[in-house]
């Protein structure tokens, strides 16, 4: 049986007082997902954390979901490949936020007002070489970009300058081990970030912005290495429909075919109907199709619980299109929960529904009711084996 695997990024949440103690998912009208739940089976996923992590990350969660936790590269390479950069052996890649700092270099907004038009800023930061190391920067989407360091004697064992907080100065990049490579990488990256700030703070594209994109926050340094493909690991032809570069990068690195959907942006304006129809069409040629929808997470990071509820309802209207699929396992879940009250990823268990092979007594898709489902609690890193158990009929 073929499988369509749908990730509603950051779907799970905590109760919201304005929703009378319901989460955005519980408060949303979701008749189509509720139908799949009533006719299927459900449960909860326990999010995977890498050592030293206190909260789940998007990159770590997706790698765990697909059963690749032992091949984790760090966020940078996934984002870079998703953005279309061809990485060479030895390249160090980092995820970037355009951010706003004040005259004292304190962070005002980690996303620069969620700036989207960064083309002129990217151009101004391109073509810089420091001590023989070339810095390659490319837009990801929205306020995000990717930075690649290309040269000799580099290491990914360096810290982030982004602590996910405002009102503080960005941290200095430091080596995470005692190697000369790590110390050299940290040194020249700090120099690049200072040069970038000097360029951005006076750039004409920032002159009229209330929140100028005048600083780069970087994190998730990683070095590219070849990873076994999904076909090698599971024996299945796989493909992905996604708008965000990170998710396209994860899919590409594990050997999934990237399928373009018209209007897929990774933002709240993404064309959901196009993405769902493209995923359905892709099932004709592939055994496993990964469909990623991002904006549920974005609304959570903004603390916009009302927007999250409305977007879930918008997703649900397009989920109805899945009813036409025959002989296919439909899996709907999330990579992690993102809580509107903290505006961050959180440790709340993640609801999951599986439609197409079996039923249980649960009739609504929600965090609270899914805990009563037949699937019980599943460790995130074990999810693929659970899915294959039900897809093999």
> Domain check: are 61 and 172 in the same one?
no
Can you tell me whether residue 98 is helix, strand or coil? strand
> Domain check: are 217 and 236 in the same one?
no
Between CA 9 and CA 59 the distance in angstroms is 11
Q: Report the predicted TM-score, pTM, of the whole model to 2 decimal places.
A: 0.87
Domain end point (choices 163, 193, 223): 223
CATH of the domain at 309: 3.40.720.10
Bridge partners (DSSP) listed for residue 324: none
Give 98-151 pLDDT, tens digit per residue.
999 999 999 999 999 999 899 999 999 999 999 999 999 999 888 999 999 999
> Domain check: are 23 and 108 in the same one?
no
> Domain check: are 238 and 339 in the same one?
yes
User: Please, are residues 109 and 100 in contact by the beta-carbon 8 Å criterion?
Assistant: yes
- Among candidate residues 338, 63, 112, 339, the one with its CA nearest the CA of residue 214: 112
Q: How far is CA 2 from the centre of its chain?
A: 24
Strands 337-339 and 344-346: antiparallel
Instruction: Establish if 165 belongs to a structural domain.
Output: yes
When divided into structural domains, the chain yields a total of 2
Residue 393, pLDDT > 70, answer no
> Domain check: are 279 and 132 in the same one?
no
Domain end point (choices 177, 195, 223): 223
> Domain check: are 272 and 354 in the same one?
yes
Between CA 113 and CA 142 the distance in angstroms is 10
What is the per-residue pLDDT for 266?
86
> Domain check: are 52 and 113 in the same one?
no
Give 238-270 pLDDT, tens digit per residue.
999 999 889 999 999 999 999 999 999 888 999
> Domain check: are 203 and 292 in the same one?
no
Instruction: Establish if 56 belongs to a structural domain.
Output: yes
Q: Is 21 exposed, middle or buried (CB count within 10 Å of its CB: 0-12, 13-18, 19+)?
A: exposed
Range of the structural domain that residue 328 is part of: 2-70+227-391
User: Please, are residues 250 and 62 in contact by the beta-carbon 8 Å criterion?
Assistant: yes
What is the per-residue pLDDT for 69?
94
Cα 173 to Cα 77, 179, 189, 201, 281, distances in angstroms: 18, 15, 7, 20, 46
Domain end point (choices 223, 238, 253): 223
> Domain check: are 234 and 379 in the same one?
yes
Instruction: Establish if 30 belongs to a structural domain.
Output: yes
User: End-to-end distance of the chain based on CA atoms, in angstroms?
Assistant: 7
Instruction: Establish if 290 belongs to a structural domain.
Output: yes
> Domain check: are 91 and 218 in the same one?
yes
Record the tokens describing residue 189, joined without a space.
Answer: 């990256």
> Domain check: are 185 and 160 in the same one?
yes
Give 315-348 pLDDT, tens digit per residue.
999 999 998 798 999 999 999 999 999 999 999 9
Instruction: Establish if 98 belongs to a structural domain.
Output: yes
> Domain check: are 207 and 255 in the same one?
no
Between CA 58 and CA 195 the distance in angstroms is 29
Instruction: Establish if 89 belongs to a structural domain.
Output: yes
Mean pLDDT over residues 30-39, rounded?
97
- Measure the CA angle with vertex 235, ends 229 and 237; round to 5°: 75
């Amino acid at each position: 049986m073929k499988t369509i695997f749908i990730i509603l990024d950051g779907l799970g949440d905590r109760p919201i007082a304005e929703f009378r103690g319901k989460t955005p998912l519980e408060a949303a009208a979701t008749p189509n997902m509720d139908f799949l739940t009533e006719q299927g089976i459900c449960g909860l996923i326990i999010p995977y954390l890498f050592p030293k992590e206190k909260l789940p990350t998007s990159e770590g969660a997706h790698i765990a979901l697909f059963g690749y936790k032992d091949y984790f590269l760090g966020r940078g390479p996934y984002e870079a490949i998703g953005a279309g950069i061809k990485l060479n052996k030895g390249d160090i890649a980092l995820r970037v936020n355009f951010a706003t700092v004040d005259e004292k270099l304190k962070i005002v907004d980690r996303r620069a007002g969620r700036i989207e038009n960064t083309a002129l800023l990217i151009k101004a930061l391109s073509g810089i070489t420091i001590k023989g190391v070339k810095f390659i920067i490319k837009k990801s989407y929205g306020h995000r970009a990717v930075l690649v360091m290309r040269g000799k004697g580099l290491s990914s064992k360096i810290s982030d300058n982004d602590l996910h907080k405002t009102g503080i100065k960005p941290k200095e990049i430091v080596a995470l081990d005692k190697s000369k490579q790590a110390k050299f990488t940290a040194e020249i990256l700090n120099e690049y970030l200072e040069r970038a700030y000097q360029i951005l703070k006076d750039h004409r594209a920032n002159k009229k912005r209330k929140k100028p994109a005048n600083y780069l926050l970087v994190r998730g340094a990683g070095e590219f290495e070849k990873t076994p493909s999904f076909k090698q690991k599971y024996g299945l032809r796989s493909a992905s429909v996604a708008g965000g570069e990170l998710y396209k990068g994860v899919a590409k690195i594990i050997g999934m075919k990237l399928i373009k959907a018209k209007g897929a942006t990774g933002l709240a304006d993404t064309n959901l109907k196009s993405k769902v129809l493209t995923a359905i069409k892709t099932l004709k040629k592939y055994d496993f199709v990964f469909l990623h929808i991002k904006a549920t997470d974005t609304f959570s990071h903004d603390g916009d619980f009302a927007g999250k509820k409305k977007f879930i309802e918008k997703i649900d209207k397009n989920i109805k299109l899945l009813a036409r699929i025959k002989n296919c396992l439909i899996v709907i879940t999330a990579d992690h929960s993102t809580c509107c009250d903290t505006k961050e990823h959180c440790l709340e268990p993640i609801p999951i529904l599986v439609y197409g092979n079996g039923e249980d007594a649960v009739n609504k898709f929600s965090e609270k009711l899914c805990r009563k489902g037949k699937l019980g609690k599943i460790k995130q890193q074990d999810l693929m084996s659970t899915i294959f158990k039900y897809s093999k009929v």
